[in-house]
Structure 1
Amino acid sequence: MTVMTPEKLLEELHRAADIVAGMTATLADPDIKAPSELPGWSRGHVLAHIAGISNAMARQLEYAARGETIELYDGGYEGRSQAIEMAAGHSAAEHRADVSAALARVLGAFDSLEGTGRSGPAGWQQPISFRGGVAFDGGLAIWRELVIHASDLGMGRGPETWNRPFCEHLFDFLSARVPEGQRFILQPLALPPVTIGSGAQSTAVGGMLTDIAAWLAGRTPTLGSLRATAAADGVDLPHLEPWPAAVAPAR
């Protein structure tokens, strides 16, 4: 498994932000209204969410720098949802401006932590309210948001474009989706297996690395069919628990 350091995470954050910004720059007004890969959401909804979570996480770090914590969204989950609905119908130009400003703000907040170690007393270890964690956890969250929602835009950057460190991070983070009493042996093609969950009932899930990660993330695998086996017999893909959410069940 790839060990994610603050330095590597910063590189991944900038790379993911560049991809989202580049995709947003190509959209015209009719494209904004088109359906995304998320049921019930247009691309405008996805872009509004990207801007909203980026600003929210930047605010987490800005308060943390002063030794304070603050809730992720003003008004909690309801406030988040209202803000997305209000902004979803904006023009392409408005979305570009909002996403650009939000990405610059959140990247600036994380860039200001550079030079401090993950185990240090400050910087990446500053407490934030998000999941009761620290700034490093917030960085991982924004990485997930940018990469996954870039795929949700439905513009040709599906899960097959997710790199190995990101997929391995999802294996770890989304182990919370393994039902109690079960464990999954993930068998990505040509890579070592990874076991998540600690129950007695075992199910093996094999396929391409990105397809397994997409399935765990609730997205559609794009490179081929996954296969699941239990006690050497073919079975259906196992049930997954809800996405681990900070403020309410996640999309």
Structure 2
Amino acid sequence: MTDQAKDPQVQDLAAVREATGRLLAAVRKLDDAAVREPSRLPGWSRGHVLAHVARNADALVNVLTSARTSERIPMYVSTEAREADIERGAGRPLAAHLEDLAHSADGFNTAAAALHPEAWQRTVELRNGVTDRASNVLFRRLTEVELHHVDLGIGCAVEDLPASFVDRHLDYVAGERFAGRPDVPALLVTTEDGRSWRTGREDAEGGEVTAVGGTAAELLAWLTGRADGAGLDRSAPALPVLPPLG
């Protein structure tokens, strides 16, 4: 294996391209009527989801350009502009969505390929003042493509996503995103192969921590709001209510 093939950014960009290819192949099987039908996200049609995925690629190009040039370029002009762009694009016919998805994905791939090694280590600004290292933008894009593929409701479930993605995103959600958050119930999340995370609020009420177990895919689907978790093992009579990832 070459040094370039071992590079994490090269691997992540390859994963983004592969996931985008799967998404495009699945969307090509739809028709104009199916695009207008409801997605699995409340209040959004499949067209809304597709428009969002495309505009997210454009927005992350802004982020990567900031990393390359060291200029402060906002991810989105504003929240209002972001929402208006999604709404404006949602009702387009299938062919327009496919062209937009492919074009915006190419723009993201080009912007990522243009970054030099030092730029990947720079801190970039995302939405709502969130900051991160530029190298993590690739996995953020992969997450958008994979999970919104599920949200389209066209036969892809979290269980169908690559195991490498599921494992990595579960580690991120349970190990980082929900860790220490006061609005997340105290949880002990354990996979069938023995990996575990103590996540959620640290000062559990009455010292109670709800243990939840299952496959990595089942746990990720529940934690990200893609499933109700009915098949998960749990130490409480009912699963606690989780906040949206937002």
- With normalisation by structure 2, the TM-score equals 0.84
SS in 2 for 1:58: helix
Match among 207, 211, 215 for residue 208 of structure 1? 215
Q: Does structure 1 residue 184 correspond to structure 2 residue 157?
A: no
Task: Tell me: CA distance 1:217–1:136, structure 2 relative to 1, closer, same or farther (3 Å).
Answer: same
Q: Deviations over 1:137-187 (max 9, x none)?
A: 221211110000001111111111123332233333324335428542212
The match for 2:54 is 51
CA distance in 2, matches of 1:197, 1:168: 19
RMSD, aligned α-carbons: 2.2
Q: Does structure 1 residue 112 correspond to structure 2 residue 107?
A: no
Contact 1:177 1:240 survives alignment (8 Å): no
Same amino acid, percent of matched pairs: 28
Contact 1:212 1:221 survives alignment (8 Å): no
Contact 2:39 2:152 survives alignment (8 Å): yes
CA distance in 1, matches of 2:211, 2:173: 16
The match for 1:238 is 240
Any gaps of 5 or more consecutive residues in structure 1?
117-121, 244-249
The match for 1:12 is 15
Contact 1:170 1:217 survives alignment (8 Å): no
Query: Which moves more between the two structures, 147-156 or 65-74?
Result: 65-74
More helix by share: 2
Paired residue type of 1:91: P
Task: Tell me: CA distance 1:163–1:195, structure 2 relative to 1, closer, same or farther (3 Å).
Answer: farther
CA distance in 2, matches of 1:172, 1:193: 9
Contact 1:210 1:221 survives alignment (8 Å): no
The match for 2:231 is 225
The match for 1:71 is 74
Contact 2:189 2:212 survives alignment (8 Å): yes
Q: Give how far 1:5 is off.
A: 2.9
Contact 1:174 1:216 survives alignment (8 Å): yes
SS in 1 for 2:123: coil
- With normalisation by structure 1, the TM-score equals 0.82
CA distance in 2, matches of 1:148, 1:182: 23
